[in-house]
Amino acid sequence: MTAVSVARTATLGPIVSKRIFGALKFCYPTAEDKQMKRFVRGDDRNQSSLLPEALDDYVTDTNPVRVIDVFVEELDLNDLGFEGVQPALTGRPAYHPEVMLKIYIYGYLNRIQSSRRLEREAQRNIELMWLTGRLAPDFKTIARFRKDNGKAIRNVCRQFVTYANVWTFLLKQSSRSTAASSRR
């Protein structure tokens, strides 16, 4: 912020302060503003927001992570043979196998096999943050989950492929029926 824009903002009062309300453009345009007029500008990294944004706003209703979420929520992980469904009474609390399975299926769909890459994606990918509730297990935890539950994961992946095939079939049928009814 230049000295001139600070002085102009100060005369207009704290309500229109550019530092507090970056989205509101009540300040007089500065030379910097005139130069940047032709470009799309992002938010200031130091700008604090008044209301926190929800991750749900960034994940559309048709996003595949919503299918993963619904699919894993419907599974009975204990019957499928996953370890750690019942938490241990002592020691550090573990990640629920449901969260770990969501990460694994996300990697399966997006061709991410490395546990280190899955760890990185859990830390920076908004879809995966939404899916896990902002949990980001380290690569050793992801690799250990895969090693300890290999047979159960293979069974779940088979079920997921079947589920996805049925889901896409139903979507195609519904789009055909809507197209047929719209022609009449």
pLDDT of residue 54: 84
Give the whole-angstrom CA distance, residue 101 versus residue 150. 11
Number of domains comprising the chain: 2
DSSP secondary structure of 14-66:
GGG-TTT-TT---SPP-HHHHHGGGS-----TTPPPSSPPPGGGTS-TT-HHH
Give the whole-angstrom CA distance, residue 109 versus residue 141. 20
In the chain, the largest separation of any two C-alpha atoms, in whole Å, equals 69
Residue 48, domain member (yes or no): no
**Together in a domain, 96 and 148:** yes
Q: What is the pLDDT along the chain (184 residues), one digit of tens a residue?
A: 555 444 444 444 444 444 444 444 445 556 655 555 566 676 677 777 665 678 888 888 889 899 999 999 999 999 999 988 888 888 888 899 999 999 999 999 999 999 999 999 999 999 999 999 999 999 999 999 999 999 999 999 999 888 888 878 877 887 776 655 666 5
**Together in a domain, 113 and 173:** yes
**Together in a domain, 29 and 80:** no
Q: At what angle do helices 150-183 and 139-148 cross, to 10 degrees?
A: 90
Residue 72, domain member (yes or no): yes
Residue 133, domain member (yes or no): yes
**Together in a domain, 34 and 60:** no
**In 3-state terms, what secondary structure has residue 138?**
coil
**Together in a domain, 65 and 128:** yes
- Global pTM? 0.68
- Domain encompassing residue 26: 3-38
Residue 68, domain member (yes or no): yes
**Together in a domain, 134 and 171:** yes
Residue 51, domain member (yes or no): no
pLDDT of residue 107: 95
Residue 95, domain member (yes or no): yes
Residue 134, domain member (yes or no): yes
Tokens of 57: 């706003």
**Together in a domain, 14 and 82:** no
pLDDT of residue 103: 96
CB atoms within 10 A of CB 5: 17
**Together in a domain, 19 and 74:** no
**Together in a domain, 116 and 61:** yes
User: How much is the CA Rg of the chain, to the nearest whole Å?
Assistant: 24
Residue 49, domain member (yes or no): no
